């Protein structure tokens, strides 16, 4: 284990709190450092307090708050009205629940056909596919070698930009979908039998 640079530790802490979907405990943070840096939970707590002071003194747009003994990064309450206004505008231009469900299916199962999507969702997806295509979030990439040769759909670079991902490898676990887990879609993706592919192979 190596000695640590305080600036590097604070930078790592910031990154951890920024990507954490839920409040993080000191133990979780310390375990992250294990094997790399020799740092105690008390030292981690001290660095968190330093970050709190820095954010307040520099009027940063975010703060570290403590929730039930755990820590999270959140926006400055004084900016609430502007954040709320932005989110309302973004929601108005955002994707519908059916579109998010279909996009989740494509993201985790690509490439796949319209029939395969409908088999998972249980509804027609023609309209949704058109909307996602018009927004540049998906595109066709060749055709499947089965009867009828249906188009295969995949996500685009615009999809990565839209959800702040560097690559598809950065997709969250299905149970942690950042673009919302709607109607249990992540569980359905996780446990959906491979019946569609089996049926296609038998045709």
User: Each residue of 88-115: pLDDT tens digit?
Assistant: 665 546 788 889 889 999 999 999 999 9
Give the pLDDT score at 90: 58
Instruction: State the pairing for strand pair 62-67/151-155.
Output: unpaired
Largest CA distance in the chain: 67
Considering its fold, how many domains does the chain have in total?
2
Most confident segment among 8-22, 79-93, 155-169: 8-22
Give the pLDDT score at 10: 93
Has residue 82 been placed in a domain?
no
pLDDT band for position 175 (50/70/90)? very low
85's enclosing H/E stretch is helix 80-92
Provide the token pair at 116. 């395969």
Residue 141: which of 127, 123, 124, 159 has the closest Cα? Answer: 159
> What CATH number is attached to the domain comprising 55?
1.10.10.10
Q: Which of 100-109, 142-151, 171-180 has the lowest mean pLDDT?
A: 171-180
71 in Cβ contact with 85 (< 8 Å): no
146 and 61 fall within a common domain: no
Has residue 27 been placed in a domain?
yes
153 and 189 fall within a common domain: yes
51 and 148 fall within a common domain: no
Give the whole-angstrom CA distance, residue 180 versus residue 97.
9
128 and 176 fall within a common domain: yes
Per-residue pLDDT reduced to its tens digit, 51-83 = 999 999 999 998 999 888 899 988 888 888 888
116 and 72 fall within a common domain: no
64 and 114 fall within a common domain: no
**Boundaries of domain holding 47:** 6-77
Q: What is the pTM of this model?
A: 0.46
Task: Name the residue with higher pLDDT: 87 or 197.
Answer: 87
């Amino acid at each position: 284990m190596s000695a640590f640079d305080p600036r590097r530790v604070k930078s790592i802490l910031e990154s951890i709190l920024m990507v954490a979907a839920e409040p993080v405990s000191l133990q979780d943070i310390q375990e992250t450092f294990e094997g790399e840096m020799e740092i105690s939970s008390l030292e981690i707590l001290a660095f968190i307090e330093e970050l709190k002071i820095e954010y307040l003194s520099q009027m940063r747009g975010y703060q570290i708050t403590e929730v039930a003994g755990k820590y999270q990064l959140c926006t400055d309450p004084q900016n609430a009205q502007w954040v709320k206004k932005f989110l309302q505008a973004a929601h108005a231009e955002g994707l519908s629940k059916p579109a998010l469900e279909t996009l989740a299916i494509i993201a985790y199962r690509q490439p796949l056909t319209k029939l395969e999507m409908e088999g998972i969702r249980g509804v027609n997806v023609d309209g949704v596919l058109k909307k996602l295509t018009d927004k540049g979030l998906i595109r066709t990439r060749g055709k499947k070698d089965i009867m009828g040769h249906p188009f295969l759909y995949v996500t685009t670079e615009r999809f990565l930009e839209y959800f702040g991902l560097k690559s598809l490898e950065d997709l969250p676990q299905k149970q942690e979908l950042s673009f919302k887990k709607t109607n249990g879609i992540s569980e359905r993706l996780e446990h959906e039998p491979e019946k569609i592919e089996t049926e296609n192979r038998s045709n």
